[in-house]
Amino acid sequence: MDTMTTERISDTLAAFGISPENSGVFIGGMALPGTGINLHSHSPVDGLAIGSVRSCSENEFDRVVEGAISAFETWRTWPAPKRGDVVRQVGEALRLHKKDLGKLVSYEMGKSYQEGLGEVQEMIDICDFAVGLSRQLHGLTMHSERPDHRMYEQWHPLGIVGVISAFNFPVAVWSWNAMLAWVCGNVTIWKPSEKTPLCSLACQHIVTEVFSRNGVPDGVSCIVNGGREVGEMLASDHRIPLVSATGSTRMGKAVGAMVGGRLGRALLELGGNNAIIVSANADLDMALRASLFGAVGTCGQRCTSTRRLIVHESVYGAFREKLVKAYGQLRIGDPLDESNHVGPLIDQEAVALYDRALEAAGQQGGRLAVPGGRLKGRGYESGCYVRPAIVEATPEMMIVQEETFAPILYLMKYSGHVHEAIAIQNGVRQGLSSAVMTTDLREAERFLSGVGSDCGIANVNIGTSGAEIGGAFGGEKDTGGGRESGSDAWKNYMRRQTNTINFGTELPLAQGIKFDI
């Protein structure tokens, strides 16, 4: 396996104006010096340094917020369809840069090139969705109880939307928020993951080119790279009415408390501990394909990754055999080599968490059906490559209750009715994605009913991983309750206003109250 070198992506970096050293703070196309600490980006693919960004200081953060406020004053006056046309052009630019941006995502984050391309396609899709949405920001009309009165509601932009994104989807989740926020008339300040800062520079480069052609105010799109301290600046600033944060439950609780403490809004997309139920009536070949990608895609670093398989005892042995055989055929290595299925974990800290989870599983009574372990040798010099593992487990094991951001799959069995499997699935603190594999209509409908899955996403005969942008994305319980992307998620980025108009000559009061002088 050939070792990745930075020379292989030098043209990609140049296409986005990325140098070995860069500012990580932008108000539109204007780069601020970046007087905070240096953030160095090392690829988990080969461990080599790609580049660095200078992070945001407190003074620069204040300049960014003021720039965003100024831009909002103008941007919110643009007609929504005009804002939508700008977003349409962003989508067209992403189409032109799809291969380069997908390659950068793959190299900086470590996911397969196909998944990198898929992430950019998500960005394109949300642009298309937002363009149509720009002509459909509908309110309601209500009948008034008072004569000669009309009531209706309308939606107005909030102002600044702060976006805190995670490393596993270094560009797509930002776009889910930004494209909807922009067509709604808001401006955005994005704090990317400190583990994937260069992807944010590429996105800002693309957006700036489009915005400049259209005369969009610079502060509509801002970036503040940095660590936890920059996230705290976003969460605590009363000038930012909405903070959308994607990441761990621990991080989300901290952000939620800080934003809630100033009575701001928090849109939280947090951890998942997702399960697939494999019924006695499942198509096992279909269940295998769904489980395999769900468990090992992005090296198990998706919030929707499949972490638990709950299999009926009557098919447990046959399905276990299929699964173990499939794991034996996985190819692990350079994610830009499209013959490989699995790339690296994001960094060696993630590898250490993987090791500890496997150790804990063994101590708690789990049995390895597919041993894991670190991969060493030529092509694995970064120290971030591991083997996907399968642990035969029981639902009450403490480690099964947790989300481990790594390719570890817990295999469990159930007996009797699908009710038992649903109870096992729901018996964790997280509530993001879920699935049942069955050809039985009653089981499928039970799973989707009010006494079925308690997750924000519930699927039948597809896996837990991979959501289309047309549906609202998010989950319940420790997943945070937020909703992004499709359906009516746009309402999160706006404020609702109820209006009553009296077009008569009298002033009747509601509820028939009399107040005569």
Reduce the DSSP state of residue 113 to 3 states and report it: helix
Nearest to 283 by CA among 466, 436, 467, 412: 436
Among candidate residues 299, 303, 384, 455, the one labeled active-site is: 303
Q: Token pair of 113, please?
A: 């090139």
Count, residues in the chain: 517
Give the end-to-end CA distance of the chain in Å, rounded to a whole number. 90
Buried b (16+ CB within 10 A) or exposed e, 241-267: bbbbbbbbbebbebbbebbeeeebbbb
Among candidate residues 269, 403, 443, 484, the one labeled active-site is: 269
Q: For residues 40 and 83, give the distance between their C-alpha atoms in angstroms, rounded to a whole number.
A: 35
Nearest to 336 by CA among 8, 17, 12, 15: 8
- C-alpha 182 chain-centroid distance: 18
Placement of tokens 């840069």 in the chain:
97
402 included as an active-site residue: no
Reduce the DSSP state of residue 2 to 3 states and report it: coil
411 forms beta bridges with: 309, 392
Q: For residues 492 and 326, give the distance between their C-alpha atoms in angstroms, rounded to a whole number.
A: 42
Q: What is the 3-state secondary structure (H, E, C) of 241-304?
A: CEEEEECCHHHHHHHHHHHHHCCCEEEEECCCCEEEEECCCCCHHHHHHHHHHHHHHHHHCCCC
Q: Please give the DSSP secondary-structure letter assigned to residue 40.
A: E
Q: What is the CA radius of gyration of the chain?
A: 24
Q: For residues 118 and 97, give the distance between their C-alpha atoms in angstroms, rounded to a whole number.
A: 13
Q: For residues 41 and 199, give the distance between their C-alpha atoms in angstroms, rounded to a whole number.
A: 10
Q: For residues 27 and 70, give the distance between their C-alpha atoms in angstroms, rounded to a whole number.
A: 11
443 included as an active-site residue: no
Between the CA of residue 178 and those of 87, 142, 186, what are the distances in Å?
A: 10, 31, 9
Give the helix, strand, coil percentages of the chain, each rounded to 5.
40, 20, 40
Annotated catalytic sites, by residue?
269, 303
